[in-house]
Amino acid sequence: MKLLKLLFPLAFAVLVAWACSKEPDGPETPPEDLLIEPVSQTVKPADGKLTISMTLYGLEQTKYMTIEKINSAGTQSVNYYPRVLQKDYTYNYTMLPTDDEEFTFSFTLVGNDGSVSNTATATVDNSRADGEAKYRTLAISNLRVMSRVTGKEDNGHDGLPAVKYTVNNNTHTKYNVGGTDLGIVWEISPGYYGLFFGDTFGSDFNPNFSAPGPNGGSWRSNVLLFSEDTELEDGMKITGAALDAGGNARQIVYSAHVTNGNGDYTSIPTAAVHANGKEYVHYFNIRTWDGWVTNYSGMYRSSDMGGNWEKVSGIRWGGESYFGQVGFCNIGDGWVYVIGTQSGRDSKPKLARVAEANIEKQSKYEFWNGVSWVEGSEYEAVILFDDKAGELSFEYLPEFKKWVILYFNGPRYEITMRYADKVTGPWSDPITVASGRNYPQLYGSFIHPLSKQEGGKLYFIMSMWLPYNTYLMCVDVKGYR
């Protein structure tokens, strides 16, 4: 016991000495302040594309980054959310034919608590050398079927096309989308795409080789699927859908499904676009498919990235309107461009535009009369080019500084391409992209927005009546000076 009493003070002294000599644990590393570096830079586009590199600090407490484009037309603003941001961040921009010779981008981080970072700026030097050469003509080659988009994988026999890549989207089991067509694709936010399809049937759908086309149950006039696939060289993956309570892709645009030829038969989407911070889909309401008799055309709107939709009250085109079916294109210059036809495949296209802020105001649409834009009356619009066009889409390709349009042409039984330096034309002679001789009962030609970035590759969604489903197609594009 006496020994323990002697040892205890010694042990306690050693313990105290060790504790005093041990470095205390430091405080947890505080979160980084919201900061963007460099604060300013000057950049110049190359081959129609612009890249702006920066470092972002404080991403763990960032709600979103606001990017503003400031030019002579005003200021356009968009918010990028953390899922597409990273510390070493590169902002990619596709140059527009209307861009000034000098303009500015600004970048600001906004925190979850409402705090803001510094505002970093990038001045864009878009000056061009005198006599800069343009591509005079475009040519295409090497058309291929990249992948099946909808339905179950069943390819390469009895007239069904062989696909280059099998991606197994399995929309028949995942979303009750067994048979469908169209596939109108647009960019909702960077890297996030919506695809509107037409009359859709359920998981019990099977292609009917003796009577192709729709069959089966669970008929919906239209459905909306989503894709976050930004690498199309190995096919396109579907990653979601606008669902009902039962987990099935639901009908977005209403239809009463009155099939006797005297009412509302079905509502078919023709185009979709992101504009003024919202999503819009144009559709036509069919009375009977015999002659494509149309009751009217209109638009629906979504304010939550395609989750929920409501009818736009200010848009209603008559049954004989030249904007009964349309294509939309938003190149970021403050306007939405619209190429329209009468319902069906037998009319020639006309051109309109509308300021993004006025997209829901039909009286504010402007129509190209061959010389200038005229507000208010679609009857002022002239024919854009002399050809019959159905199921069309169009896009601006910055690499070539050309507008490109795809459409179905019945007399030639093909999907056709034309190009132009200006959206008002003149447009080139028709170029055959896909022929019905090689792809029987083909139709629909909806350009994927990634075609603007892919450097000589034009991706589009094509439908075939057999097997009444859709495919991702790709064709190589080359410019000649």
Check residue 74 and give its pLDDT: 85
Residues 235 and 272 in one domain: yes
pLDDT confidence tier of residue 132, bands split at 50, 70 and 90: low
Residues 121 and 221 in one domain: no
Q: Give the angle subtended at the CA of 365 by the CAs of 315 and 357, to the nearest 5°.
A: 80
Residue type, 235: G
pLDDT confidence tier of residue 12, bands split at 50, 70 and 90: very low
Residue corresponding to tokens 């629906």: 300
Q: What is the CATH number of the domain that holds 59?
A: 2.60.40.1930
Q: What is the CATH number of the domain that holds 404?
A: 2.115.10.20
Check residue 27 and give its pLDDT: 52
Residues 70 and 203 in one domain: no
- Residue 88 maps to a domain: yes
Mean pLDDT of the 124-139 span:
75
Mean pLDDT of the 262-280 span:
97
Spatial separation of the C-alpha atoms in residues 327 and 403, rounded to whole Å: 13
Coil vs helix vs strand at 352: strand
Centre a 10 Å sphere on the Cβ of residue 157 and count the other Cβ atoms it contains.
8
Residues 285 and 164 in one domain: yes
- Residue 53 maps to a domain: yes
Check residue 92 and give its pLDDT: 92
Q: Give the angle subtended at the CA of 65 by the CAs of 64 and 71, to the nearest 5°.
A: 145
Could you say which of 74, 99, 125 is where a domain stops? 125
Task: Select, from the ranges 27-36, 46-55, 80-89, 340-349, the one with the highest average predicted confidence (pLDDT).
Answer: 340-349
Q: In the predicted model, is pLDDT for residue 129 greater than 80? A: no
Q: In the predicted model, is pLDDT for residue 310 greater than 90? A: yes
Spatial separation of the C-alpha atoms in residues 396 and 424, rounded to whole Å: 12
- Residue 165 maps to a domain: yes
Q: What is the pLDDT of residues 141-196, one digit of tens each?
A: 999 999 999 999 999 999 899 999 999 999 999 999 999 999 999 999 999 999 99
Residues 144 and 85 in one domain: no
Residues 141 and 116 in one domain: no
Mean pLDDT of the 419-434 span:
97
- Residue 457 maps to a domain: yes
Residues 355 and 221 in one domain: yes
Residues 146 and 255 in one domain: yes
Q: Is the dihedral of CA 239, 244, 248, 249 positive or negative?
A: negative
Spatial separation of the C-alpha atoms in residues 468 and 168, rounded to whole Å: 17
Residues 84 and 229 in one domain: no
Check residue 29 and give its pLDDT: 56
- Residue 16 maps to a domain: no
- The secondary structure element, H or E, covering residue 478 is strand 469-480
Check residue 28 and give its pLDDT: 57
Q: What is the pLDDT of residues 437-453, one digit of tens each?
A: 999 999 999 999 999 98
Mean pLDDT of the 290-298 span:
97
Residues 95 and 151 in one domain: no
Centre a 10 Å sphere on the Cβ of residue 52 and count the other Cβ atoms it contains.
18
pLDDT confidence tier of residue 376, bands split at 50, 70 and 90: confident
- Residue 21 maps to a domain: no
Domain containing 53 equals 35-125
Could you say which of 101, 125, 149 is where a domain stops? 125
- Residue 369 maps to a domain: yes
Spatial separation of the C-alpha atoms in residues 93 and 333, rounded to whole Å: 13
pLDDT confidence tier of residue 468, bands split at 50, 70 and 90: very high
Q: In the predicted model, is pLDDT for residue 257 greater than 80? A: yes
Could you say which of 125, 160, 182 is where a domain stops? 125
Q: Is the dihedral of CA 160, 166, 167, 172 positive or negative?
A: positive
Q: In the numeric block, which tokens belong to residue 100?
A: 């000034």
Mean pLDDT of the 408-435 span:
98
Residues 54 and 171 in one domain: no
pLDDT confidence tier of residue 17, bands split at 50, 70 and 90: very low
Mean pLDDT of the 305-327 span:
97
The total number of structural domains that make up the chain: 2
Check residue 30 and give its pLDDT: 65
pLDDT confidence tier of residue 2, bands split at 50, 70 and 90: very low
Residues 47 and 162 in one domain: no
Mean pLDDT of the residues in the chain:
92
- Residue 11 maps to a domain: no
Spatial separation of the C-alpha atoms in residues 459 and 452, rounded to whole Å: 9
pTM: 0.80
Mean pLDDT of the 290-313 span:
98
